[in-house]
Amino acid sequence: MPVTLQEARTIIDAGLKQARELQQRVAIAVVDEAGNTISLDKMDGTPLYRERFATGKAFAAVLTQMPTAQAQGLRETGPERYFGMMNLFPEQIYLLNGGIPLKRDGQILGAVGVAGGAAGMDEKIAEAGVAAWGG
């Protein structure tokens, strides 16, 4: 069963709560298994273009089927796959920390992406959203 709008809102709300606790201003996106946006939020004062980065991180997590923190290594270990993805989806994939696939029973149903936080914070905020979803 795909990630519902209600589940996406649960993920985003938990991420926003974590972002406030960490004093970070972020954008959070949840996408479906095809990388289409289900829901997207941006906190007041979030730096420009972070919505695009959040969506791009979520899309990258779906496409690579791994957290974007791990997918960064594709540049070195899987250059054919990396450059193939970049050619197919130019300016839509962001292999930066903060994108995590949403899995249930081993199947990827979508992903969450977070952008705008200080180094390492996007990943923690995304993890809070995934934990609240409970997939």
Residue range 53-63, pLDDT digits in tens: 999 999 999 98
Average pLDDT, the chain: 89
**pLDDT for 134:** 87
CATH code for the domain of 55: 3.30.450.150
Of 102, 135, 106, 109, which Cα lies nearest the Cα of 1? 109
Over range 54-73, report the average pLDDT: 88
| Residue 26 domain boundaries | 5-133
Complete edge-to-edge strand list for the sheet that includes strand 99-104: 37-42, 27-32, 107-115, 99-104
- If you write DSSP's letter for every residue of 103-114 in order, what string do you get? EETTEEEEEEEE
Report the SS3 class of residue 71.
helix
b/e code 60-88 from CB counts within 10 Å (16+ = b) = bbbbbebbbbebbebeeeeeeebeebeee
Residue 129 has pLDDT above 80, yes or no: yes
11 confidence band (pLDDT: 50, 70, 90): very high
71 confidence band (pLDDT: 50, 70, 90): confident
How many domains does the chain divide into?
1
Residue 38: phi, psi to the nearest 5?
-95, -45
